[in-house]
């Protein structure tokens, strides 16, 4: 199947700092990528949809100024959590769209904000 990577896999940062997470499609071109957040023992919640070369579409309740998404190429999307706070600590997962209905997920990035 299609492979998606994420970097870093785990990051710890101080409150108030910004953190960038990269999502790459390794063996396919993903014109559309999705960013999800998952709290412990809960399901994935879609945060935003990003398309290569255009602005991301955010789900209701997600602050676009806090979670900056850039989809600069067909294989790379980045999520920057700005001025992170402890409540932003979560598991962030991206996926790339490969064909109709086929989303392939990255391994996730665990963010811990102290």
Partner 1 sequence: QKEVEQDPGPLSVPEGAIVSLNCTYSNSAFQYFMWYRQYSRKGPELLMYTYSSGNKEDGRFTAQVDKSSKYISLFIRDSQPSDSATYLCAMSLFSGGYNKLIFGAGTRLAVHP
Tell me how far apart the alpha carbons of residues 103 and 93 are, in angstroms, rounded to a whole number.
12
Extract the tokens encoding 19. 């953190």
Residue 49 within binding range of partner 1, rule CB under 8 A: yes
**Considering only residues 28, 57, 68, 76, which one is a binding residue for partner 1 as defined by CB under 8 A?**
57
Tell me how far apart the alpha carbons of residues 38 and 95 are, in angstroms, rounded to a whole number.
13
Question: Which CA distances in Å does 107 have to 19, 24, 54, 64, 85?
Answer: 17, 11, 25, 23, 23
Residue 110 within binding range of partner 1, rule CB under 8 A: yes
Residue 77 within binding range of partner 1, rule CB under 8 A: no
CB of 65 to partner 1, least distance (A): 21
Residue 28 within binding range of partner 1, rule CB under 8 A: no
**Considering only residues 58, 104, 111, 113, which one is a binding residue for partner 1 as defined by CB under 8 A?**
104
């Amino acid at each position: 199947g299609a492979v998606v990577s994420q970097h870093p896999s785990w990051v710890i940062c101080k409150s108030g700092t910004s953190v960038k997470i990269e999502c790459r499609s390794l063996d396919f071109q993903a014109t559309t990528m999705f960013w999800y957040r998952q709290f412990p023992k809960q399901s994935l919640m879609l945060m935003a949809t990003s398309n290569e070369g255009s602005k991301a579409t955010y789900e209701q309740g997600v602050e676009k100024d806090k979670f900056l998404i850039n989809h600069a190429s067909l294989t790379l999307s980045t999520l920057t959590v700005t001025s992170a706070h402890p409540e932003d600590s979560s598991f962030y997962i991206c996926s790339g769209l490969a064909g109709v209905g086929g989303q392939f997920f990255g391994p996730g990035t665990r963010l811990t904000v102290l």
